[in-house]
């Protein structure tokens, strides 16, 4: 058995710092681009392309120009056609590169998902079965050295577990039955001791499977913002399509109908191909940036919401504190002897599988109190037997009804007070200062009381001690600077809550909160139009995690919490939300910046092509004055615009994947700055770029 008084490690003292993000596999060099060429070619499938309407139009255009080049071959026709195909390919390349990074990680994860044999426990005997045959509810035994065959909850025992296969963190963590640290992940390895695990995942639907699907983007769906933007881009495309089609009668009237090739080139230059090509890559890259910080976002929608969070709710135990509340001292009330209190506390914990319950036995053992059980189990019932009353977050009590009629309870002061009074007793006022003293130190007081036939009475207090995670204050200060309000919610009493809230530096707290209260608090915030993030680890946090716009479950928490949230933090660091918010904001800003750039870009290209198309037509000499760039000739101008339009996609892939630089201060100011930089840049870049390309293109023999 690990020493229960040893410093806890579960999700704990890993510094809540700028933990090093996982290194990104090779970035966007020419080699990385070339490596993704095959996947980019595979994406030419029209069924895939049609999901991006803008690029689908370019694909159709490329087919049209190919046909026209075949019918009326010329150097101009073929070179332009080639560059139109390149445009489509570059768009696919952007997406392929973005996905490629996840794929490398998925491969690495797959390698850890080796074939394991589980030790299935049935009727007290063990049978070896392949992990893939385990069903939900099966019990399996895992001992030191065993790979845990599937996800589950520890129902018996305590063990240290190496979770590095999943989290990348080599320090072992404690997993134990009963509390908020009972969940184990398939593919991780038990380092010491023996645990019995109840399987909670269907084969093929384990956490590791989900993680692989996630980093691969297997079931990626467009987010609401992406859908809205796609719709906007699609309507712009239709408008320009109509504009280009109606141009033909004018040109014909002027005596120079334009060839299909030129019309397609014009259309492709006008529609927002840049953002159309990069949109999905931007979204994938955002998810990928989270993964590299050990956060698994189950949906892109959650990442977007994170960019706009107003309120962050944090659960106290296990999230703000290390989460291993341990019995630290026994405070008998009045004339009660310490041994009497110890004996009652032990009986009340005899069947309490929570870490708090078990720690009471451990305390009595280290203090060598007479009632302490010799070893192993928590307490013996002296053969008397009894009915355990398990702990629940609703009642905030646990205890035992002994066969002889004696009933013992321990729990939160307010809960035990009610119980004592309901059982005809008087809540001894002498216990109040004891409770307050424990609370003032940020500890959790558990009041112990008994009822034996006659009136109930209070015996004393068990001081459960917990430690606030280091380094939280500065991180909450940073959240405040980002305009995010932090609220701690806890089932503990208001005094304890206040002490911990002050020590950790949160803005506000809610004490004596039941799971329903947590849920109501989130709903209230949301009704005010605020977006709420919640960080939690316990089963009783699950409803709140599900209700929150961003629900970040600690990996150290229960499976219920991990199922309910839309993100899992593998480092179990409550302040990870800072990074999550930054990545969300960066995603939104990047998308906005590139959309601005793309549209501004297209406007500029208009001035390159229209004068070229109409140049040389009698009666339209005036348009030639619009040829501000002084391009060599109509063909060269059109081709240069098409080439620029294609190259700008490749040039912006790194920006789309890396995201625009994000600084915490003033999101509104940043937005304004970006509009200026990317809007003005988008207008100017094509003029310079097209003029330069024109210099090269006009030298192609046979073009003009």
Ligand X SMILES: Nc1ncnc2c1ncn2[C@@H]1O[C@H](COP(=O)(O)OP(=O)(O)OP(=O)(O)O)[C@@H](O)[C@H]1O
For the chain, the C-alpha Rg in angstroms (whole number) is: 33
| Other beta carbons less than 10 A from residue 509's beta carbon | 23
Least distance (Å) between residue 346 CB and ligand X: 13
Residues near 282 by beta carbon (within 8 Å), at least 6 away in sequence = 587, 590, 591, 594, 656, 657, 659
Partner from ligand X, K ion, Mg ion, none binding residue 490, C-beta < 5-8 Å depending on class: ligand X
Partner from Mg ion, ligand X, K ion, none binding residue 193, C-beta < 5-8 Å depending on class: none
Question: Is residue 210 at the binding interface for ligand X, with CB under 6 A as the rule?
Answer: no
Q: What is the DSSP-derived secondary structure letter of residue 179?
A: S
Residues near 550 by beta carbon (within 8 Å), at least 6 away in sequence = 302, 305, 306, 309, 531, 532, 533, 534, 566, 567, 577, 580
Least distance (Å) between residue 669 CB and ligand X: 36
Question: Is residue 357 at the binding interface for ligand X, with CB under 6 A as the rule?
Answer: yes
Nearer to Mg ion, 391 or 419 (CB): 391
Question: Is residue 439 at the binding interface for ligand X, with CB under 6 A as the rule?
Answer: no
Catalytic residue among 153, 162, 209, 315: 315
Q: Which of residues 471-530 bind ligand X (CB under 6 A)?
A: 490-492
Q: Which of residues 84-123 bind ligand X (CB under 6 A)?
A: none
Question: Is residue 540 at the binding interface for ligand X, with CB under 6 A as the rule?
Answer: yes
Q: Which stretch binds ligand X (CB under 6 A): 302-310, 405-413, 543-551, 659-667?
A: 405-413
391 is in an annotated binding site: yes
Nearer to ligand X, 439 or 636 (CB): 439
Closest to 167 in 3D by CA, of 150, 188, 191: 188
475 is in an annotated binding site: no
Residue nearest to Mg ion (CB): 538
Question: Is residue 352 at the binding interface for ligand X, with CB under 6 A as the rule?
Answer: yes
554 is in an annotated binding site: no
Nearer to ligand X, 157 or 538 (CB): 538
Nearer to K ion, 58 or 212 (CB): 58
Angle between helical axes of 634-658 and 260-270 (0-180°, round to 10): 30
Partner from K ion, ligand X, Mg ion, none binding residue 686, C-beta < 5-8 Å depending on class: none
CA–CA gap between residue 472 and residue 469 (Å, rounded): 7
| Other beta carbons less than 10 A from residue 450's beta carbon | 23
315 is catalytic: yes
Q: Which of 76, 207, 240, 391 binds ligand X (CB under 6 A)?
A: 391
Nearer to Mg ion, 25 or 543 (CB): 543
Residue 117 is inside which H or E element, if any?
strand 117-122
636 is in an annotated binding site: no
CA–CA gap between residue 200 and residue 149 (Å, rounded): 11
Question: Is residue 393 at the binding interface for ligand X, with CB under 6 A as the rule?
Answer: yes
Cβ–Cβ < 8 Å for 445, 463? yes
250 is in an annotated binding site: no
Partner from Mg ion, K ion, ligand X, none binding residue 397, C-beta < 5-8 Å depending on class: ligand X
| Other beta carbons less than 10 A from residue 696's beta carbon | 11
Adjacent-strand bridge partners of 117: 130
Query: For the residues of 32-85, what is the DSSP string, one character each?
Result: HHHHTHHHHHHTT-HHHHTTSHHHHHHHHHHHHHHHHHHHS--HHHHHHHHHHH
Closest to 166 in 3D by CA, of 143, 187, 145: 187
Partner from Mg ion, K ion, ligand X, none binding residue 273, C-beta < 5-8 Å depending on class: K ion
Question: Is residue 397 at the binding interface for ligand X, with CB under 6 A as the rule?
Answer: yes
Cβ–Cβ < 8 Å for 550, 302? yes
Nearer to Mg ion, 80 or 439 (CB): 439
Partner from ligand X, K ion, Mg ion, none binding residue 352, C-beta < 5-8 Å depending on class: ligand X
Least distance (Å) between residue 375 CB and ligand X: 21
Closest to 615 in 3D by CA, of 258, 349, 93: 258
Q: How many residues of this chain bind K ion (CB under 5 A)?
A: 3
CA–CA gap between residue 154 and residue 159 (Å, rounded): 9
Q: Which of 317, 555, 586, 590 binds ligand X (CB under 6 A)?
A: 317
Partner from Mg ion, K ion, ligand X, none binding residue 4, C-beta < 5-8 Å depending on class: none
Angle between helical axes of 224-253 and 273-292 (0-180°, round to 10): 160
Q: How many residues of this chain bind ligand X (CB under 6 A)?
A: 23
Cβ–Cβ < 8 Å for 571, 169? yes
Question: Is residue 410 at the binding interface for ligand X, with CB under 6 A as the rule?
Answer: yes
Q: What's 450-488 look like in SS3?
A: EEECCCCEEEEEEEEECCECCCHHHHHHHHHHCCCEEEE
Q: Which of residues 614-653 bind K ion (CB under 5 A)?
A: 645
Partner from Mg ion, K ion, ligand X, none binding residue 411, C-beta < 5-8 Å depending on class: ligand X
Q: How far apart, in Å, are the Cα atoms of 115 and each of 133, 187, 267, 340?
A: 11, 9, 54, 53
Nearer to ligand X, 134 or 447 (CB): 447
Question: Is residue 411 at the binding interface for ligand X, with CB under 6 A as the rule?
Answer: yes
Q: Which stretch binds K ion (CB under 5 A): 270-278, 297-305, 635-643, 670-678?
A: 270-278
316 is in an annotated binding site: no
Give the dihedral of Cα atoms 488, 286, 226, 222; nearest 10 deg: -90
Residue nearest to ligand X (CB): 491
62 is in an annotated binding site: no
3-class secondary-structure state, position 400: strand
Q: Record the tokens describing residue 72, joined without a space.
A: 């009326």
Question: Is residue 273 at the binding interface for K ion, with CB under 5 A as the rule?
Answer: yes
393 is in an annotated binding site: yes
410 is in an annotated binding site: yes
CA–CA gap between residue 409 and residue 318 (Å, rounded): 24
356 is in an annotated binding site: yes
Question: Is residue 444 at the binding interface for ligand X, with CB under 6 A as the rule?
Answer: yes
The contact set with ligand X (CB under 6 A) reads: 315-318, 352, 354, 356-357, 391, 393, 396-398, 410-412, 444, 446, 490-492, 538, 540
Tell me the binding residues for Mg(2+).
Answer: 537, 541
Tell me the binding residues.
Answer: 352, 356, 391-398, 410, 537, 541
Tell me the binding residues for ATP.
Answer: 352, 356, 391-398, 410
The contact set with K ion (CB under 5 A) reads: 273, 602, 645
Q: Catalytic amino acids?
A: 315
């Amino acid at each position: 058995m690990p020493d229960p008084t040893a410093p806890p490690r579960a999700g704990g003292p890993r510094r809540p710092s700028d933990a090093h993000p996982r290194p990104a596999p090779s970035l966007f060099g020419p080699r990385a681009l070339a490596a993704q060429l095959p996947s980019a070619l595979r994406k030419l499938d029209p069924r895939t392309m049609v999901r991006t309407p803008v690029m689908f139009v370019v694909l159709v255009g490329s087919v049209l120009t190919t046909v026209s080049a075949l019918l009326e071959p010329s150097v101009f026709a073929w070179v332009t056609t080639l560059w139109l195909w390149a445009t489509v390919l570059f768009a696919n390349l952007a997406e392929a590169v973005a996905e490629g990074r996840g794929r490398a990680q998925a491969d690495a994860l797959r390698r850890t998902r080796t074939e394991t044999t589980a030790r299935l426990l049935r009727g007290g005997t063990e049978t070896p079965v392949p992990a893939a045959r385990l069903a939900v509810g099966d019990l399996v035994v895992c001992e030191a050295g065993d790979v845990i065959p599937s996800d589950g909850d520890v129902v018996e025992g305590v063990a240290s577990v190496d979770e590095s296969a999943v989290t990348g963190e080599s320090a072992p963590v404690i997993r134990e039955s009963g509390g908020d640290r009972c969940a184990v992940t398939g593919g991780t390895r038990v380092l010491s001791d023996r645990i019995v695990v109840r399987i909670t995942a269907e084969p093929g639907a384990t956490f590791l499977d989900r993680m692989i699907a996630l980093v691969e983007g297997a079931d990626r769906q467009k987010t609401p913002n992406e859908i809205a933007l796609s719709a906007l881009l699609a309507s712009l495309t239709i408008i320009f399509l109509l504009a280009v089609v109606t141009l033909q009668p004018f040109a014909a009237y002027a005596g120079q109908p334009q060839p299909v090739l030129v019309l397609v080139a014009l259309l492709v230059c006008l529609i927002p191909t840049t953002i159309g090509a990069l949109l999905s890559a931007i979204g994938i890259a955002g998810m990928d940036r989270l993964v590299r910080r050990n956060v698994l976002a189950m949906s892109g929608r959650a990442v977007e919401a994170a960019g706009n969070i107003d309120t962050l709710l944090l659960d106290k135990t296990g999230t703000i504190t290390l989460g291993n509340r341990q019995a630290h001292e026994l405070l008998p009330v009045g004339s009660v002897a310490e041994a009497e209190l110890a004996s009652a506390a032990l009986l009340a914990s005899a069947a309490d599988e929570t870490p708090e319950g078990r720690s009471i036995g451990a305390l009595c053992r280290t203090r060598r109190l007479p009632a302490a059980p010799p070893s192993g189990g928590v307490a013996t019932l002296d053969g008397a037997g009894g009915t355990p009353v398990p702990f629940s977050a609703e009642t905030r009590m646990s205890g035992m009804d002994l066969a002889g009629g004696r009933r013992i309870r321990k729990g939160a002061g307010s809960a035990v007070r009610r119980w004592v009074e309901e059982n005809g007793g008087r809540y001894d006022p002498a216990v109040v200062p004891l409770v307050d003293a424990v609370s003032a130190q940020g500890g959790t007081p558990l009041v112990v009381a008994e009822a034996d036939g006659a009136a109930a009475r209070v015996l004393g207090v068990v001081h459960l001690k917990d430690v606030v995670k280091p380094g939280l204050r500065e991180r909450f200060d940073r959240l405040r600077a980002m305009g995010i309000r932090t609220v701690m919610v806890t089932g503990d009493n208001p005094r304890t809550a206040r002490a911990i809230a002050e020590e950790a530096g949160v803005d506000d707290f809610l004490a004596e909160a039941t799971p329903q209260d947590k849920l109501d608090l989130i709903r209230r915030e949301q009704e005010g139009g605020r977006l709420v993030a919640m960080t939690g680890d316990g089963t009783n946090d699950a409803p709140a995690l599900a209700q929150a716009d961003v629900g970040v479950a600690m990996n150290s928490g229960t499976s219920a919490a991990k199922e309910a949230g839309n993100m899992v933090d593998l480092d179990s660091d409550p302040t990870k939300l800072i990074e999550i918010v930054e990545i969300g904001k960066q995603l939104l800003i990047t998308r906005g910046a590139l959309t601005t750039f793309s549209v501004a870009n297209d406007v500029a290209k208009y001035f390159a092509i229209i004068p070229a198309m109409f140049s040389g037509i009698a009666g339209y000499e005036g348009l030639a004055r619009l040829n501000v760039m002084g391009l060599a000739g109509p063909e060269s101008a059109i081709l240069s615009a098409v080439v620029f339009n294609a190259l700008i996609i490749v040039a912006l892939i790194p920006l789309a994947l890396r995201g625009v630089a994000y600084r915490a201060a003033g999101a509104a100011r940043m937005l304004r700055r970006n509009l200026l930089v990317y809007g003005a840049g988008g207008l100017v870049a094509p003029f310079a770029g097209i003029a330069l390309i024109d210099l090269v293109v006009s030298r192609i023999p046979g073009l003009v």
